[in-house]
A and B are shown apart, each in its own frame.
Chain A
């Protein structure tokens, strides 16, 4: 029943906006891929094309080996949970869940059996005869989810399923959703602009920007090895330092780093932007010894964040960086506000020679 879904070179143009630009993505059977991107980047458009509610300008969609982009939504058997849930207001919970089965002309006994099972699974048995308007947000979300799952679809599409909910229940439902998806083994695409949600739920994460998919990978690699400036900026915190290429190395002020492979052969004196995650700085208290290839500065402030401490450091060249170190290190090394420090970088993530930054983000 569950099948892989794949889109190839999908492009969607509304009258003047190009909402999707040559998007290719494959989601394996039983896999959950989260699509992460800022508002307006084309996430909902992608889902509406896969579901068949809109027709793509160009490109193909495959369900398993079968090409489906010419099929109307009724024949694709793809479950869709809308951002606003779109529960049928005149039907109660039971009737909402039964809708897809009634359309398919299942017998009454069969419908009853399946709906009871769903109600049980979603913890909604007591709410079966309530109208959607009389349910809480979390209950509405489950009804919408159950309604999409009832006809046992090939693929499940979730458009920001948790963003309409209070923060307190969001975390609970996130775990429930994850477990449910794994237990059912249903191929799922979940769209969100919430980075934490994307990372926690996705087997893989696809980061989208301006209608393009910039990177698809497992969460850890998206964070540690962002493929583009946009991904580095959009995912997690990052420091952006300006630097220059010089004889096989890159320098930002006196900080020296190895040049990444993809920039080998870049001319000397080419200006670059260097992206460094806050936890990838190495800090030492300044001594008289020369610190080769390091920057110097003074700790301006420290913010306590549980096991981690965030430090703002004013460099001698007047740039400010944001570093994160463990609490143990601050005390063992004496890294307190007012102290002078030397700073190395463990690794840089993205180095770009493009002139316009993908995003502006202070460290």
Chain B
């Protein structure tokens, strides 16, 4: 008995130590650096911080970042939902290859993604020349940034929606068909409501990732202040020119926006896990009054 108690006591101690290590790890890697940024941004007080952030180039880069990230999140939210539905519900040749291809943006350096886009849509390329004929230039322009962000973030919504769709009972849509619903009606009325949390998760992740993107944007759209300079690129530029405080102040704003997004994400996944849980089944009360004219039938085995 006593030995058993000691073992249990030792285990509790082990878990307490491991818990402390995990907490310390998060402190060291996340909380302390955030605190550092905070202290540095406000080393000259609120006035100094505002002065840094309200620099025209700084403010423009922040607004641009928030705008393009929003665009990328909306477009990839819609397209990701469509792609996930098609990848799950239809069979076609090359499907598994296409499915594997979806993760590619995660696996290659983002600067390479940028180069790929330039090669196809850049000024020198045939497609780029056609687009320019329509007055749409990709390289060193606003559409280029959005395109770069779309490429880098497109796995998020697909990969958030796909597993939910896969585990979703196919017979739900089939029942809807037998009740007269078209495929379109069945999707929007039956399937989509269950997908909303995962779509929102995908969109939020896309947005957060787009805020942080550096490599592909700098390759495709360059570093033109007030025009194509996103916040992450601005921060890098200020560091290069020894304006550490300006860099940290803009970084701090980025951090806060990201933090808010991640809190929203956390809240959304909370909703999702709550919806997944059902109350334990209580025993049924079968009211015999439910159907009139009840009678017992005799069994016919002699």
Interface residues of A (CB under 8 A from B): 51-53, 72-74, 76-80, 82, 84, 86, 88-91, 99-100, 103-104, 121-123, 133-134, 136-139, 147-148, 151, 169, 172-173, 175-176, 178-180, 183, 196, 199-200, 219-220, 223, 236, 279
Contact = CB atoms under 8 A, between A and B. Distances in A.
17 contacts: A52-B177, A53-B174, A74-B181, A79-B178, A80-B175, A88-B175, A88-B176, A89-B172, A99-B176, A99-B181, A123-B289, A138-B286, A147-B175, A176-B290, A199-B299, A199-B300, A220-B300
Interface stretch (B7-15, B51-59, B274-282): B274-282
Contacts of B291: 121, 176, 179-180, 183
A185 to B, nearest CB: 13
A136 B194 CA distance: 21
A90 B193 contact: yes
Nearest to B180: A103
A172 B286 contact: yes
A82 B171 contact: yes
Interface in B250-302: 277-279, 281-284, 286-297, 299-302
A347 B297 CA distance: 27
B43 interface: no
Q: What 3 pairs across the A-B complex have the smallest Cβ distances?
A: A133-B278, A123-B290, A90-B193
Contacts of B299: 196, 199-200
Contacts of B178: 51-53, 73-74, 76, 78-80, 148
Contacts of B301: 223, 236, 279
A151 B179 contact: yes
Contact of B296 (A77, A134, A175): A175
B284 A139 contact: yes
A175 B180 contact: no
B190 interface: yes
A147 B190 CA distance: 14
A200 B297 contact: yes
B286 A173 contact: yes
**Chain A contact residues, majority secondary structure:** helix
Contacts of A103: 176, 179-181, 185
For B176, B194, B286, B289, which residue has the most chain A Cβ atoms within 10 angstroms? B286
Contact of B179 (A147, A199, A236, A279): A147
A177 to B, nearest CB: 9
Given A74-B178, A123-B290, 14 more contacts: A73-B177, A73-B178, A78-B178, A79-B178, A86-B174, A86-B175, A88-B189, A90-B193, A103-B180, A122-B290, A148-B179, A176-B294, A183-B293, A199-B300
B240 interface: no
Interface in B118-147: none
B180 A151 contact: yes
A139 B172 CA distance: 18
B179 A123 contact: no
A105 B137 CA distance: 48
B289 A82 contact: no
B283 A136 contact: yes
Contacts of A80: 174-175, 178
A220 B292 CA distance: 27
Given A74-B181, A122-B290, A219-B300, A84 B190 contact: no
For A84, A179, A236, which residue has the most chain B Cβ atoms within 10 angstroms? A179
A278 to B, nearest CB: 10
A176 B179 CA distance: 23
B293 A136 contact: no
B22 to A, nearest CB: 34
A122 B291 CA distance: 7
A175 B279 contact: no
B169 A172 contact: no
Contacts of A78: 178
Given A179-B293, A200-B299, A74 B284 contact: no
B60 to A, nearest CB: 43
A200 B190 CA distance: 35
Contact of B171 (A86, A147, A175): A86
B182 interface: yes
Given A53-B178, A73-B178, A121-B291, A134 B297 contact: no
Interface string B5-45: 00000000000000000000000000000000000000000
A134 B278 contact: yes
A74 B204 CA distance: 37
For A77, A78, A82, A84, which residue has the most chain B Cβ atoms within 10 angstroms? A82
Contacts of A223: 300-301
B62 to A, nearest CB: 38
B76 to A, nearest CB: 24
Contact of B297 (A76, A138, A175): A175
Contacts of B302: 279
Contacts of B292: 179, 183
Contacts of A236: 301
A138 B284 CA distance: 6
